[in-house]
A and B are shown apart, each in its own frame.
Chain A
Amino acid sequence: MQGSLLLIFTLLFSTILSANGRDLVKEGKQIFQISGGCACHTDTKNKGPFMAGGRPVKTPFGIIYSTNITPHSVTGIGDWSEEDFIRAMTLGVSPGGQHYFPVFPYTSFTKMSRPDLVALKAYLFSLPPVDEPNRPLEMNPPFSWRWTLYFWKMKNFTPGEFVPDKSKSEERNRGAYLVRAIAHCEECHTPRDLSGGLKKGQLFAGSVEGPEGELAPNITPHEKTGVGSWSHNDMIWFLQTGLKPDGDDTQGLMSELIDKGYQYVKEQELQKMAEYLSSLDPINNKVEAKKGSQK
């Protein structure tokens, strides 16, 4: 009798919990996947441990090595509080008060909602901690001076959560949030000015100097220079498989983002991302290899 009562009580209690509580780790994993699996934080080429950093990210200002974001209490982010994490993601400031270089795309992550950030932290903290010290950056002054980022942010960074456009549908706003906040597509697919800030009038129009020196295509719906000829199904299929409409596969960092992240995203979410990208103004910007690089 007592056993039956205990069983009933446990079932009732767990039902209430699951109805009101969130599976933060599961939610966080989905957000992690939409972000492209945080591919920059694993040194894949040198078979580095998952999320333990050390991946060199080449920029026009020098090389920055990605950081260890496993929950290791010394070399990772294991001793970070929730506020530390949210501050890093949304303001680009470390728990110690230092400014992060914007190769860490807090300029997009700032748009993420607090519940999504809390879930993402829960997922990252569920990963095995890895003892891997962060590597010092390879940059010369004045680019290596973090304090200058205070001024960089004044020009190039507008912190704040995503604000839905009330004139657009819920689906369109969801697509905008996914693309601009979590998947942070514009960080790679937008050309930058001399200060390294995004050229706001050319969002998603492609860049010859993408991350790691890679060419990032124009993903506005321009017919000739962008993805205007791609259907929504083409975009979804591409994000699921890395295969372009002509049958060719994508390489480089994008293939990693698909492999580690986008391929696991729910199709309905990919559909909204495709719809958002299709709704953008087409920008005529032919992104091609720099002259002299072809042998």
Chain B
Amino acid sequence: MNTFVKLFNILILLFSMTTLVNAAGDEAHLKYRQALMKATGGHMGSISAILKNRLPFTNHIANHAEGIALNSELMADTFEKKITQGRTDSLPAIWENWSDFENAAKKLGIESRKLAGIAKGGNVRQIVAQMKNVGKSCGGCHKNFRKPKEERFAR
């Protein structure tokens, strides 16, 4: 009986440790996911800052747009693992409609690459018009796959 109890306790301990290790791994994964999205937002913010303040850096916009496009290629990989617990604003809809999510990330890539191309031409009106399209593609994904603001975690 003693042996049985000891064995049972060891199994419980092993199970707990596995759970803890998984939780720690998920937390790290979440942080990376959020860092990727923040980096993408950083590029969006940078392009916006150049345009709205009419800064003499329109030649930087193509680089930022390319950065968004490259990040978009990492999104499917980064979100493939389903993590809905913890400090995340991701909706389960991501994994329930995986192909839609993938397509939304691809759309971001397409629109931001278009922006990179247009930016090289230097026509600010056209750049602004395409920037709106990039913003819409961000929104297209957020609308379906991110929690509404009243449910999001404060950061």
Contacts and interface: CB of A to CB of B under 8 A. Distances in A.
A243 B45 CA distance: 8
Interface in B113-150: 128, 131-132, 135, 138-139, 142-143, 146, 148-150
Contacts of A255: 139, 143
A289 B152 contact: yes
B42 interface: yes
Contacts of A240: 128, 132
Contact of A247 (B43, B143, B154): B43
Nearest to B150: A215
Contacts of A241: 48, 128, 131-132, 135
Chain B at the A interface: mostly helix, strand, loop or mixed? helix
A15 interface: no
Contact of B149 (A233, A237, A242, A252): A252
Interface residues of B, number: 29
A293 B153 CA distance: 10
Chain A at the B interface: mostly helix, strand, loop or mixed? loop
B25 interface: no
B150 A237 contact: no
A246 B141 CA distance: 17
Nearest to A212: B148
10 contacts: A215-B148, A234-B52, A236-B52, A237-B48, A245-B48, A246-B41, A247-B43, A248-B41, A248-B44, A251-B142
B96 interface: no
Contacts of A252: 148-149
B63 interface: no
